[in-house]
Structure 1
Amino acid sequence: MVRKPGERSTRRQFLRQAALGGVLLGGWKMAAAAQLRALRVGRYQQGVRLVFDLDRRLSAAPVIHSVGEVLHIELPGIEHGLHRPVVPALDPLQGGAEMNESAAGLVLRLPLREAVRWRSFSLGPDGRAAHRLVLDLMPLATTAVESSRRQPVARAGRPIVVCLDPGHGGHDPGAIGAQGTREKDVVLDVGLSLAQLIRSTPGMRLVMTRNTDCYVPLMDRMHLGLEQRADLFVSIHADAFPERAVRGSTVWALSATGASNAAARWLAKTQNAADPLLGDVQSGIHDPMLNAVLINMTQTAAMNSAAAAAAVMIRGLAGVEDLHNAAVQHANFVVLRAPEVPSMLVETAFISNPEEEQRLRDPDFRQLLARTMHDAVVAHFVKVPPADSAWSATRHVLRKEENLADVARRYGLSVEALRLANHLPRGEGQPGVPLHVPIMGA
């Protein structure tokens, strides 16, 4: 394949990323060899997904790198494979493949039509399939489009996707207050109220991890946001702490530097422990994607976006509830780890605090929490609407004869959302002040 001169940097970027991925995913503990039973290939988003069906999990991470126009996928510890794997010509794949055994395992060679970025992760048995290694290949041209999503444009496009994740559910009640209030019930009610508000917002599309009292594994919640290409993932909780006096709202985001403090580590551990299948993830064996993701460039962009959205959420919650922490906190919650998905976890209040439990039992307070969270979500996208979405941003200069309610009504948002988007204090704005306002798609 002949490349244009301007494509050299793209190729070098691809080579650097592939080499980095190979380094990041090394060092797994050796275990018994696995057997490859099948290779499935299909379209996924704007690229392709390869699923390797195995009889057991890999004993070591795959090593992926490029040689010319061929992607090499080394699968350590596999003794037997498919002699003639069928790989169709799906962008960015040229079609066809070569698989050989090596001293370390199997090597699959895939001819490419263009440079790609890649993401790999493993899945355990789920009743429908055995162990799987999943490899997603996305054209770098798609990445360039994605990286420009925050630049506002005034044109129609796709709806903004918001994924809501009411915590716990089913056999997992979450935290339980002294009066028997269950976290799973409180956060589902808040989530359903918030969902109704998002559905009524022009140019927004809602995704929910659960809308009934059912249990959804943490990894499934995370992957739903990823599969739906959510612009924002919001996990809703009302947790507990050993000290009953602890109270207030907290907003959490993922951080490459680890937990904010010891309390953050404790809380993340208790939340992650709600899923009994996560032992391998925490040991770094089950899911290589989760280990590499924190220093992946696209994940860094998502974390920055999540931190910005979380800061708006904190300012909104400060108006209706005490803040346990006035700044965005960081911890390694599993549900926040999806690459490319800005994700936050909102602790609405501590159900272990008797006063806050009583407030959480009040339907009016839960509705207030939902409205406040909706205002914060809207305000975030007023400030940074995805460039390929149905929203765009413009400026409105406040006139002498106008008040904030007039402006909010004109542009279809609440006064509080307008305040949050423009970091305005209480009271009326000053004439002549330029305000960020949205143009919402239908």
Structure 2
Amino acid sequence: MRSFSKKWRSGSGWLGCLTSLALAVALALPAYAGSAVEGARIWPAPDHTRLVLDTSASVDHKVFALSSPARLVIDISNASLKADFDRLDLSGSPIRRIRSAPRNGSDLRVVLDLETDIKPRSFQLEPNQQYGHRLVVDLVKEGGGGAAVRPPQPVLSDNDAGKRDVVVVIDAGHGGEDPGAIGPRGTREKDVVLRMARTIAELINQKPGYTAKLTRTGDYYIDLRSRTLMARKHNADLFVSIHADAFRTPQPRGASVFALSQRGATSETARWLAKSENRSDLIGGSGGVSLDGKDDMLAGVLLDLSMTASINSSIGVGGHVLNRLGRVTSLHKSGVEQAAFVVLKSPDIPSILVEAGFISNPQEEKNLASSRYQQKVARAVFDGINEHFSQTPPPGTLLAWQKRQGGNGSAANQYRIRRGDTLSAVARENRTTVSELMRYNGLSDDQVIVGQTIRIPAS
């Protein structure tokens, strides 16, 4: 008994051997357990295709491209395949077929047979509300980023030769593998904001003197910097990013409008000055000022001036949009807020971010999923944009020309009466008087009806 107790305390003997063996097995288990590829999704976009592999844990991997024929090889260490690649819809992507096989005993090799050569990039994503661990592989079209960039050409209005349209870029947030915020009933932000962005774009394109462009037209992801680059590519007069807010508790509610904060402007100025490739970019839009050849002090001053002007203009248009939103929904804050959102950081394009409501609030989630509510919010955003540019049209645009002409019956100076409108409210918003509106439209009294179109004299 004394001998047994001594061996128990020292860890020697048969019990020590068992303990050592158990420890060795425990340490060895992770090495043999490995990871599994449990699912896959494909998100085709205009300039790239994203392949997402759901994995049971983070993985070590290598990605490389081969030519003649075009292929992409994905090697995943210590992994097995549980997904069925045959069930993937490859239409709209450069992938013709996906093959897979074990490699080196415990590894997995996935081969994509491609229609054309691509540039691959890969990274991993941590679990979120909807998905677990993911390995993301982007197939970027060859030559997509290497072509020479031509200066953007103004969009000429069909109504009047030589007078350009006001260009508004509408950005639907999130997309593809990034669902954005998810409501209690499972409503996804990316779906709601895409529908609203499309509606806003349709309203803008129907208005003479305007052209709308969408940053994304389908369910795919675009990185934040590329969204603002697209606005510069289209020589936009305004960039509007549409989102749906969320909070950790269900109580917060109401729509918001954001412009860039001064702190965000300061950091962006520093980033522009630090990157030499930005020096050839113009500030102030087409025909603006190039930073190329300017010393740091002068370039910094020019950027500060441009940033300040853009922020002031953003707050101005944001105020009009917020005012219109307040007529169709509750507001989270009564004024335009400011924050350092990346998508607002274009130094020469006024930019706003519209939070259409809190998708984390059960009632607002129900509203946001409703097509009727989406139409109301989209109409309010459009009306705010139109109100802003009607008052302060950019030089050289059809709207500016029409304002100088006094609005001689042009469609851009007409207003369609909506439910809740009064002639006095319309007069106040357009900086004129009820008597002037009555005289200009041949009205005998100040009564108007829904659907009636009236002409607005120049302010």
Residue 320 (str. 1) matches residue 328 (str. 2): yes
Q: Are 1:374 and 2:378 an aligned pair? A: no
Q: 1:429 to 1:352 in 2, by over 3 A?
A: farther
Task: Select 1:343's aligned residue among 351, 366, 378.
Answer: 351
1:420 shift after superposition: 8.5
Which structure is higher in RCO with an 8 Å CA cutoff and minimum separation 6?
A: 1
Normalising by structure 2, we get a TM-score of 0.51
Please point out which of 165, 169, 175 is paired with 1:163. Answer: 169
Q: Please say which structure displays the higher CA radius of gyration.
A: 2
Shift of 1:343: 0.4
Distance (Å, rounded) in 2 between the aligned partners of 1:159 and 1:408: 15
Separation (CA, whole Å) in 1 of partners of 2:274 and 2:456: 41
Kindly tell me: are residues 348 and 358 of structure 1, through their superposed partners in 2, closer, same or farther at Cα, counting changes over 3 Å?
A: same
- The aligned amino acid for 1:414 is R
Deviation at 1:282, TM superposition (A): 12
2:334 aligned with 1:330 = no
Q: Give how far 1:369 is off.
A: 1.0
Distance of 1:162 and 1:222 partners within structure 2: 12
Q: Which one of the candidate residues 410, 413, 416 is aligned to 2:415?
A: 413
**Is residue 174–residue 239 contact of structure 1 (8 Å, CA) maintained in 2?**
no
Answering whether residue 425 of structure 2 is matched by residue 431 of structure 1, we say no
Q: How does 1:181-330 map to 2 (within 5 A)?
A: 181-257=187-263, 288=275, 296-330=304-338
Partner residue of 1:383?
391
Distance, in Å, in 1 between the alignment partners of 2:186 and 2:301 is 38
Identical-residue share of aligned pairs (%) = 36
Residue in 2 that maps onto 1:172: 178
Taking a change above 3 Å as real, the CA distance of residues 209 and 257 of structure 1, as seen in their structure-2 partners, is same
8 Å contact 1:168–1:174 — kept in the other structure? Answer: yes
Aligned residues: 272
Q: CA deviation at 1:411?
A: 2.8
Alpha-carbon distance in 1 for matches of 2:193, 2:413: 30
Whether the 8 Å contact between 2:427 and 2:434 is mirrored in structure 1 is no
Q: What SS does the corresponding residue of 2:357 show, helix, strand or coil?
A: coil
Maintained 8 Å contact 1:256/1:294: no
Aligned partners of 1:320, 1:250: CA distance in 2, in Å?
A: 13
Q: Which residue of 2 aligns with 1:360?
A: 368
CA contact (8 A) 1:408 1:414 kept: no
Q: CA deviation at 1:327?
A: 0.4
Q: Please report how far the alpha carbon of residue 286 of structure 1 lies from its aligned counterpart in structure 2 after TM superposition.
A: 11
Q: Which runs of 5+ in 2 are unaligned?
A: 1-120, 123-137, 155-159, 280-298, 441-454
Distance 2:320 2:436 in 1: 24
Residues 376 and 420, structure 1, Cα contact 8 Å, conserved in 2: no
Cα displacement string for residues 194-229 of structure 1 (whole angstroms, at most 9, x for unaligned residues):
111111111111111001111111111010111211
Q: Which letter does structure 2 place at the counterpart of 1:193?
A: T
1:298 match: secondary structure? helix
> Secondary structure at 2:225's aligned position in 1?
helix
Other structure's SS at 1:338 match:
coil
Residue 177 of structure 1: SS of its match in structure 2? Answer: coil
Superposition RMSD in Å: 4.5
1:359 positional shift: 0.6
Q: Is the 8 A contact 1:281 1:287 kept in 2?
A: no
Task: Report the 3-state secondary structure (helix = DSSP H, G, I; strand = E; otherwise coil) of the residue aligned with 1:344.
Answer: strand
Distance, in Å, in 2 between the alignment partners of 1:217 and 1:420 is 41
SS in 1 for 2:174: coil
After superposition, the Cα gap between the structure-2 partners of 1:384 and 1:173, relative to the gap in structure 1 and judged at 3 Å, is same
User: For residues 208 and 381 of structure 1, do their structure 2 counterparts lie closer, same or farther at Cα, with a shift above 3 Å needed?
Assistant: same
Distance verdict in 2 for CA 1:322–1:165, change over 3 Å: same
How far the C-alpha of 1:299 sits from its partner, in A, is: 2.1
* Alpha-carbon separation, structure 1, partners of 2:330 and 2:302: 31
Deviation, structure 1 residue 424: 3.6
